[in-house]
């Protein structure tokens, strides 16, 4: 955890060292205690950051109420943010962490790190999501404002995933590396008013100049609020999660990958 604590702008980093039934505490600008929801979350003695991880299964997740989010409530027109996590993903769309609510009062989306958002060209990829209004992206039924890594995650392997946002571009990283994506047709965007042929643009970096809204979401790990209740449950292990209130550059993200994954023997090729 010292690799993160030594860097400017750290708001919170969780190592998930605590046993099932306990609140998970952060280091940084506060402890930001994450409470288990929908059942206990097993602690596993495996992980690149702290040596431990939380096994996310059976639709359990963690939550911190909005009124306790404090400096995690990152927002503003030109406000930077970096979210990173160490995960062993077992498949399916999953929310890793952030302030993201897709339903209440029309949506309270703000910032969030996902894995596997195939609807708008993010299948099996690291996805960094930003919203200003909190609602869907007009004229679509969902928010499509996310970057998606060019590289894909391998199921059942440890990965270091991250995204950054500087008020203009969202960038998604897999295992410490940013890879640019060429402009491409975006799935599920044809036939809408004003854009009959659909959208064509790059998914990495993703241009989004609106900024982050102050939209009132809880901070959750492993699931988000959908119209049907909680959903987008992360399936696998989360071995660490960190939030910075600034953009970490490519060099810094590469250094953290080296320090936490490579030096600890958790490269993507390792079991």
Question: Which domains, from first to last, does the chain contain?
Answer: 2-26+43-262 (2.60.120.200)
In this predicted model, what pLDDT tens digit does every residue of 130-173 receive, in sequence order? 999 999 999 999 999 999 999 999 999 999 999 999 999 999 99
Backbone angles phi, psi at 72, to 5 degrees: -75, -15
Whether residue 268 is predicted with pLDDT greater than 80 in this model: the reply is no
Q: What is the per-residue pLDDT for 228? A: 86
Nearest one of 114, 208, 122, 121 to 169, comparing CA atoms: 208
pLDDT digits (tens, 9 = 90+) for 193-239: 999 999 999 999 999 999 999 999 999 999 999 988 999 999 999 99
The reported pLDDT for the residue numbered 1 is: 87
Candidate from 80-84, 237-241, 248-252, 267-271 with smallest mean pLDDT = 267-271
pLDDT at 144: 97
Mean pLDDT confidence for 26-45:
98
Does residue 254 have a pLDDT over 80?
A: yes
| Residues 222 and 96: beta-carbon distance below 8 Å | yes
Q: Residue 271's pLDDT is what?
A: 40
Closest CA to 236 of 107, 73, 61, 7: 61
- Mean pLDDT to the nearest integer, 46-68: 98
Judge whether residue 119 has pLDDT over 80: yes
What pLDDT is stored for residue 227 in this prediction? 85
pLDDT bin (cut points 50, 70, 90) of residue 269 is: very low
CA distance 33 to 14: 9
pLDDT score at 267:
82
pTM of the complete model beyond 0.95: yes
Q: CB neighbours of 215 closer than 8 A, spacing ≥ 6? A: 75, 99, 101, 107, 108, 109, 110, 131, 133, 134
**pLDDT score recorded for residue 133:** 96
pLDDT band at 270 (very low <50, low <70, confident <90, very high): very low
CA distance 250 to 209: 20
Q: What b/e sequence results for 90-127 when a residue is b if at least 16 CB atoms lie within 10 Å of its CB, and e otherwise?
A: eeebbbbbbbbbbbeeebbbbbbbbbbbebbbbebbbb
Mean pLDDT, the chain, rounded, equals 96
Task: Give the alpha-carbon dihedral of 15, 17, 20, 24, to 10 degrees.
Answer: -50
């Amino acid at each position: 955890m010292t690799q993160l604590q030594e860097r400017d702008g750290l708001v919170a980093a969780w190592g998930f060292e605590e046993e099932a039934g306990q609140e998970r505490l952060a280091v940084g600008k506060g402890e930001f205690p994450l409470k288990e929801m929908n059942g206990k979350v097993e602690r596993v003695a495996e992980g690149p950051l702290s040596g431990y991880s939380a096994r996310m299964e059976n639709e359990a997740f963690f939550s911190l109420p909005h009124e306790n989010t404090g400096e995690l409530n990152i927002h503003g027109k030109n406000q930077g943010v970096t979210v990173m996590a160490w995960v062993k993903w077992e498949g399916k769309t999953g929310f890793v962490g952030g302030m993201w609510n897709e339903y209440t009062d029309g949506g309270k989306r703000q910032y969030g790190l996902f894995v596997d958002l195939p609807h708008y060209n993010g299948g099996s990829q690291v996805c960094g999501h930003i919203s200003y209004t909190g609602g869907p992206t007009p004229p679509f039924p969902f928010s499509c404002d996310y970057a998606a890594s060019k590289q894909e995650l391998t199921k059942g392997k440890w990965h270091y995933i991250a995204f950054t946002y500087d008020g203009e571009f969202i960038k998604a990283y897999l295992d410490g590396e940013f890879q640019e994506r060429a402009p491409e047709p975006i799935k599920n965007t044809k036939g809408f008013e004003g854009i009959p042929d659909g959208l064509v643009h790059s998914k990495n970096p993703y241009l989004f100049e609106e900024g982050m809204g102050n939209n009132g979401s809880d901070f959750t790990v492993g699931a988000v609020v959908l119209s049907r209740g909680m959903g987008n449950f992360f399936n696998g292990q989360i071995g660490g999660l960190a939030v910075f209130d600034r953009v970490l550059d490519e060099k810094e993200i590469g250094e953290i990958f080296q320090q936490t994954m490579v030096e600890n023997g958790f490269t993507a090729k390792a079991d």
